[in-house]
Amino acid sequence: MCLAVPGRVLEVFEESGTTMAAVDFGGVRKKVCLAYLPETGVGEYVIVHVGFAIQRLDEESARETLATFERMGLLEEEFGDGFEAAARQKGVEA
């Protein structure tokens, strides 16, 4: 289920009484129904499934999540056994 992809809203307009949007997926553009997220503004990100925006993508949250992943393992490298950390690092790069 759920092949849903994030895209950026380029334009919001009405069509047959329904709120629609032109959404950009990194160079590919498609018309998407925005009726479930009518407050979305141009430049914001939404998650699109079968031609409908089902939820907004919280960019701040996305950045935080990635930052958390980036910090993982670093504390141990700082305070852990230097040789062990180096050996593990070597294993990562192999």
Partner 1 sequence: MKYLDEFSDPDLARRLLDQIHAVTTRPWAMMEVCGGQTHSIIRHGIDQLLPEGVEMIHGPGCPVCVTPLETIDRALAIARRPEVIFCSFGDMLRVPGSHDDLFTVKSEGGDVRVVYSPLDALQVARDNPDKQVVFFGIGFETTAPANAMTVHQARRQGIANFSLLVSHVLVPPAIAAIMESPTCRVQGFLAAGHVCSVMGTAEYPPLAERYGVPIVVTGFEPLDILEGIRRTIVQLEQGRHELENAYPRAVPAEGNPAAMAMLSDVFEVTDRTWRGIGTIPGSGWRLAPRYAEYDAELRFEVDDIRTDESPLCRSGEVLQGLIKPHECPAFGKECTPRNPLGATMVSSEGACAAYYAYRRLDLVAAGEVGS
Partner 2 sequence: MSDDLDFEGWTCPAPLRGTPTVVMGHGGGGAMSAELVESLFLPAYGGAARAELGDAAVLPAASGRLAFTTDSYVVKPMFFPGGCIGDLAVNGTVNDLAMVGAQPLYLSTAYILAEGTAMSDIGRVATAVGKAAEQAGVQLVTGDTKVVDHGSGDGIYVNTAGVGVVPDGVVIGPDRARPGDAVLVSGPIGLHGVAVMSCREGLEFSTPVESDSAPLHGLVADLLGTGVDVRVMRDPTRGGLSASLNEIARASGAGIDLVERDLPVPAEVRDACGLLGLDPLQVANEGKLVAIVPGDAAEAALEAMRAHPYGAGACRIGTVVEEHPRMVVARTGLGGTRVIDLPIGEQLPRIC
Contacts with partner 1 by CB under 8 A lie at 1-8, 16-18, 25-26, 33, 35-38, 45, 47, 49-52, 54-55, 57-59, 61-62, 65-66, 69-70, 72-73, 88, 92
Tokens (6 digits) for 51? 């031609």
Question: How far, in Å, CA of 86 to CA of 67, rounded?
Answer: 22
Are 34 and 11 contacting, i.e. CB atoms less than 8 angstroms apart?
no
In this complex, which beta carbon is closest to partner 1, that of residue 12 or of residue 52?
52
- DSSP assignment of 20-43: EEEEEETTEEEEEE-TTSTTPPTT
Contacting partner 2 within 37-66 (CB under 8 A): 49-50
> Which residues sit at the interface with partner 2, rule CB under 8 A?
1-3, 5, 24-31, 49-50
